Structure 1
């Protein structure tokens, strides 16, 4: 999916509270820069739409949803729409939930109590490839990463996973990396999710940064 700066940023909202969902959709539409093209109360409906329609640029995802849990849904959404940014917007600031979401492949983590202007800015940042984090979440993540001292992280990455992160470090897209390595995009996404988990990061830029720090690339 190509990002066209002349077009509004297309957004799905997956949120079970109808009032919040409608308010958020209206707020996005009012900017004229964002377009809410799908609003769903559960993940299953969003996945069904993705099978039939062009994927949005951004999926805004709550975690506490009926049916499939948001964290469980993240890798499925990423697999269904590999070029779409999945941005968590929830009430939970629980450390375990935060790292589960980022480890599952979320591109950012925002809190519903944030000002709407910050949420809109976070969506636009995610579209540009920046991983937005609410202020308190960012402090938690950075504090945890600063204490993370893996004894031998290379042993925890397979040779294929190293090849994948090296390809991404060269600026390749997921599809380009898959083509170069002669693997399917689904296999590439699986490797990338595993890399995120092993390196304790939540996005490609974080994985590349961590790989540079430990000498993998």
Structure 2
């Protein structure tokens, strides 16, 4: 029996995903998480084979969930669900160890195929998604900044936008306060920003948080 963990902060989305997963007799929903930190804890506790996680999760986004699970050396694959068409997001997902990526609007049609692929050790990205992102990349590559934020810096920016202090971020990310401050300063320098308000606006614009 394969264990599937569902992580999304909206109950109606979790319910819809559960209904799809439970159509397969050899799959079981091992648990449901409402934020990224809970998703990591439940994945470890239930020894989930697959974690389906919304990119825009509180406390820890889908990419940070994937990176944390990889750091724990678990044999758990992550399937990111997103509403956002952003080529930077896909690039960051691959760097974070994500091997499955799906638009929420495609979940009803492609979710089972995506999970089957990940269980077989194959990556899963719908052709329409890849074509869209490649097209966007070609259009935007000349205007893209070479100074993209790292996944860790993005996590710090997200938590800042959610109202966390440096100390609470250090607990969530399991980093020292000094390291958090370093990532914060690095993100602000790369983005050319000098205030928390600017970081919050950036986080909203990049869909790291929902206003």
TM range (shorter): 0.5 to 0.7
Q: Secondary structure at the match of 1:44?
A: helix
For residues 38-187 of structure 1, the aligned pairs below 5 Å read 38-51=31-44, 53-140=45-132
Q: Does 1:19 align with 2:12?
A: yes
> Where in structure 1 are there 5+ consecutive unaligned residues?
1-7, 147-217
Q: 1:114 to 1:50 in 2, by over 3 A?
A: closer
Q: Give the distance between the partners of 1:79 and 1:121, measured in 2 at CA.
A: 26
Residues of 2 paired with 1:27 and 1:127: CA distance?
Answer: 16
Q: 1:144 to 1:117 in 2, by over 3 A?
A: closer
* Distance in 1 of aligned mates of 2:43 and 2:51: 11
Q: Which runs of 5+ in 2 are unaligned?
A: 139-211
The Cα offsets for residues 105-134 of structure 1, whole Å up to 9 and x where unpaired, read as 101111111152411111111110111112
Shift of 1:144: 9.0
Contact 1:47/1:80, CA 8 A, preserved across alignment: no
1:35 Cα shift?
1.2
Alignment deviations for residues 150-173 of structure 1 (CA, whole Å, 9 cap, x no partner): xxxxxxxxxxxxxxxxxxxxxxxx
**Residue 63 of structure 1: how far off its partner (Å):** 0.7
- The answer for the alignment partner of 1:32 in structure 2 is 25
Normalising by structure 1, we get a TM-score of: 0.57
Give the superposition deviation at 1:81: 5.0
Distance (whole Å) between structure 2 residues aligned to residue 63 and residue 118 of structure 1 = 17
Residue 67 and residue 140 in structure 1: after superposition, are their counterparts in 2 closer, same or farther (change >3 A)? Answer: same
Offset at 1:88?
Answer: 0.7
- Could you list the structure 1 runs, at least 4 aligned residues long, displaced by more than 6 angstroms after superposition: 142-146
Aligned-partner Cα distance in 2 for 1:50–1:28:
16
Task: Tell me how large the CA RMSD over aligned residues is.
Answer: 2.3
TM-score by length of 2: 0.59
Q: 1:35 is paired with a residue of what secondary structure? A: strand
